Structure 1
Amino acid sequence: MTTLRPSAVLLDLALVAAALADAWVHVDSGEQPAMALALLAAGALTLRRRVPLTAFILTLPAALITDAVFATMAALYTLASLRRHRLQLAGCALLFAAGDYLPWPWSSLRATELTRTDGLLHVSYTLASAAAPVFLGQLVQARRDLSLRLAEISKAREHERLLTAQSVLAKERAQLAREMHDVVAHQVSLIAVQAGALQVGSADIETRRAAATIRQLSVQTLDELRHMVSVLRASGSRPTELTPQPCLADLQRLVDTSCIEAELETDLPEDLPPTVQRAVYRTVQEALTNVRKHAPGATATIHIHHQDGTLRTTITNTAPTRLALALPSAHHGLAGLRQRAELLGGLVTSGPTADGGYRLHLELPVDPTDEHAPGADSPPA
């Protein structure tokens, strides 16, 4: 059952009061049947929203035998504002006009015949009084329908703007996927082929080992690139899973294939939340990448410990022993690590050490709720 708003209740009470005032002015208190019908008509206005046709029918007798027609006009207006059946509205208007025009009792009709001019004026006035509530109600209904249509149009336009934005994004992603496939993947494939040729043709053991590592990393990079291209080409049309995300069990393999002399020390349990494991893995991965790029020849130590509800990861490298090559970098790595740590309620600090090396430190609170931290499953931009 729909609950009326306070403003609607006040309006209904005001209409009932106006109908009672109309009855008090136009109905003699000594005419009890007429007064009872006038009171019934006033009370029927409380039903005009729920059963408008019934409310109108209950007000008709008062309009027939008395001059108190306010309740009937109000009920007819409500009926016209809620119903769309034009024939029904026309019939109700004619009933009201007939009841208001004909005298009561009907037996006095011949005795009260009017002149032709007065009769036409009376009929015109009665028809106008009956038509006005219908036209006003239909106008209100049309205004309400127009407001709904405008709201629907605004919603449709907003949806169209969203579809346009998604279409533009899909084109950009498709273009990016083509660039990755045609340029980046091609160049990585050449690296893998050249590394394979060097591995087979070189007589030096260290050279063959380095070439094997390069080839292995190139093949792994190609697999990840292919999956990223498929994700971009999906363009949001269907759910697409990212590549299997790393965990702590993959740390040793990461260290072994890093081409860096590194020592890994960890005492972590195996039941850490996946988001925490990924954060630790990505931190170590970024640190080792920076060592290869900016500190060639350096050694690294990786300490990962869990104590008092806090997981601490520290990667420290020594000073470089060779001159670093100038490599392109967007400097987004550490910023991404800080974003990931903040999503998990943690902190990342970094800076040079006294001996010319570098230190990267991650602290994360370990709690069951971390697994559901918002945005934690998505890699930072």
Structure 2
Amino acid sequence: MRRRALTMLRRPAMTTVFLEAAILALVVLDVWLVVPQRAQSYSFYLSGISCLAVLLRRRFPFLALLMAVPGFFAGWAQLASMFTLGMVAARRQLAWQTWVGAALVFTCRFVSWPFSEFTKLTWREHILDGIYGVLVAGMPVALALLLGARQEIAAKLAELAKSRDRERRLYADAIRAEERARLAREMHDVVSHQITLIAMQAGALQAQAKEGPALETARVIRGLSRRTLEELRSLVSVLRSGAEEDDPRPGIGELDHLIRTADVPVRLTVEQLPDTLPSQVSAAAYRTVQECLTNVHKHAPGATATIRIQAGSGALDIEVENERARRSGERLPSGGHGLTGLAERARLLGGSFETSGTENGGFRVRARYPLELATITPPSTAAQ
């Protein structure tokens, strides 16, 4: 029985049919219980029409009320008139249809049919019928107005909840915008200044060096400094605007230049690469290789890095593996955020990111980026 009730609640149409059948049975029972043994035939017909009018109250509430009133006045369909009046009040609230309907129902309860019997009533009975008329006509209207007020309050509360959600989002956006502006200032005032000094020092070294490894090293440092400044300016503009980066970003087509300037021995294998890649995937592939080569240079000096890039099964697979360090080197500072940023980028693109050690003491990074991207949440600044 409980399972059947739950099934009906999940099906609004079935619930409506069951409710209408129950109401129809109730109004018919109300007429049948009070019908006298001897009555005029037209009273039966009018009462039957009143009962059927209940079925029309949802689509034509005022018309259903007008059809039900004669059966109440010259018959016994009191509940039918009350149900139709309640629907009119629920739809129209305090409009003129509600007042007219309430007056008709009150008249049907106060005035007795035939009039010969009405004139025989005492003044006490008239007062009592008036009280019952107010109750019969006022109760459906009061309940309908109460339900209408409840729905209005629920709508206001829902609107208030949406307004609060919008305020929270706006507040969070304001906090993020302030934080982005602060980061942009710090990056511009501190990092950009330091990189500019590095570029100037590399330029001075390049001017002093005549030839040999020193000249080539100065050129590489100066080129990397310029490139870093360009990317830093682009990132600062993104942080200040709060929008997704629109400027061209380095992609998989620039891996050759990255590998040549990485100062890390690299074995690169590219298989089944499509002609075009989504810009987000291309930039993610570039950043993955860039971060891995940077880590090899910092943590495994002299080790060879093996890069495998393959497109298949609707995704771009990247694997970067390096041997253990072959020589000791100066330990460079590391915040540990690079791999975390790559993992966040892969998650935002709907892909995967894995890291693990190798049997020979090296390190392996695997990333997978889908080639067909759905709606993507803008990456956080950590993943830029």
Please tell me the TM-score bracket, short chain as reference.
Answer: 0.7 to 0.9
Partner of 1:257: 261
Q: 1:131 to 1:269 in 2, by over 3 A?
A: closer
Q: 1:183 to 1:271 in 2, by over 3 A?
A: same
SS at match of 2:42: helix
Aligned residues, how many? 365
Question: Equivalents in 1 of 2:136, 2:92: separation in Å?
Answer: 19
Q: 1:47 aligns with which of 56, 60, 73?
A: 56
Q: TM-score, normalised by structure 2?
A: 0.81
Partner of 2:269: 266
Partner of 2:235: 228
Question: Equivalents in 1 of 2:57, 2:17: separation in Å?
Answer: 12
Question: Equivalents in 2 of 1:265, 1:118: separation in Å?
Answer: 105
Deviates most, 141-150 or 198-207? 198-207
Question: Equivalents in 2 of 1:97, 1:60: separation in Å?
Answer: 10
SS at match of 2:333: coil
SS at match of 1:67: coil
Question: Equivalents in 2 of 1:123, 1:308: separation in Å?
Answer: 85
Identical positions, percent: 34
Q: 1:155 to 1:97 in 2, by over 3 A?
A: same
Partner of 2:4: none
Question: Equivalents in 2 of 1:377, 1:163: separation in Å?
Answer: 17
Aligned-residue CA RMSD in angstroms?
Answer: 3.4
How far 1:347 sits from its partner (Å)?
Answer: 5.0
Question: Equivalents in 2 of 1:320, 1:128: separation in Å?
Answer: 97
Partner of 2:176: 169
Give runs of aligned pairs for residues 318-357 of structure 1, distance below 5 A: 319-321=325-327, 323-336=328-341, 344=351, 347-351=354-358, 353=360
Once the two structures are superposed, residues 30-77 of structure 1 have per-residue CA deviations (whole angstroms, 9 ceiling, x without a partner) of: 532111111111111112222211111110111111233111011111
SS at match of 1:266: strand
Q: 1:263 to 1:102 in 2, by over 3 A?
A: closer
Question: Equivalents in 1 of 2:311, 2:139: separation in Å?
Answer: 82
Question: Equivalents in 2 of 1:375, 1:87: separation in Å?
Answer: 54
Q: Which amino acid aligns with 1:154?
A: A
Q: Which amino acid aligns with 1:38?
A: S
> Contact 1:227–1:243 (CA<8 Å) still a contact in 2?
no
- Please tell me whether residue 22 in structure 1 is matched to residue 26 in structure 2: no
> Contact 1:53–1:79 (CA<8 Å) still a contact in 2?
yes
Question: Equivalents in 2 of 1:264, 1:351: separation in Å?
Answer: 17
> Contact 2:273–2:311 (CA<8 Å) still a contact in 1?
no
Once the two structures are superposed, residues 175-228 of structure 1 have per-residue CA deviations (whole angstroms, 9 ceiling, x without a partner) of: 111111111111111111221122113345322221111111111111111111
Give runs of aligned pairs for residues 87-236 of structure 1, distance below 5 A: 87-106=96-115, 108=116, 112-235=119-242
- Please tell me whether residue 372 in structure 1 is matched to residue 376 in structure 2: no
Question: Equivalents in 2 of 1:95, 1:87: separation in Å?
Answer: 12
> Contact 2:238–2:244 (CA<8 Å) still a contact in 1?
no
How far 1:263 sits from its partner (Å)?
Answer: 4.5
Question: Equivalents in 2 of 1:289, 1:102: separation in Å?
Answer: 97
> Contact 1:73–1:133 (CA<8 Å) still a contact in 2?
yes
Q: 1:128 to 1:372 in 2, by over 3 A?
A: closer
> Contact 1:284–1:315 (CA<8 Å) still a contact in 2?
no
> Contact 1:45–1:75 (CA<8 Å) still a contact in 2?
yes
Q: 2:71 aligns with which of 62, 86, 95?
A: 62
Structure 2: gaps spanning 5 or more residues: 1-10
Q: Which amino acid aligns with 2:30?
A: D
Question: Equivalents in 1 of 2:312, 2:49: separation in Å?
Answer: 78
Question: Equivalents in 2 of 1:115, 1:312: separation in Å?
Answer: 99
> Contact 1:300–1:317 (CA<8 Å) still a contact in 2?
yes
Question: Equivalents in 2 of 1:332, 1:125: separation in Å?
Answer: 79
Q: 1:24 to 1:267 in 2, by over 3 A?
A: closer
Q: 2:297 aligns with which of 292, 311, 325?
A: 292
Q: Which amino acid aligns with 1:9?
A: V
Q: Which amino acid aligns with 2:260?
A: D
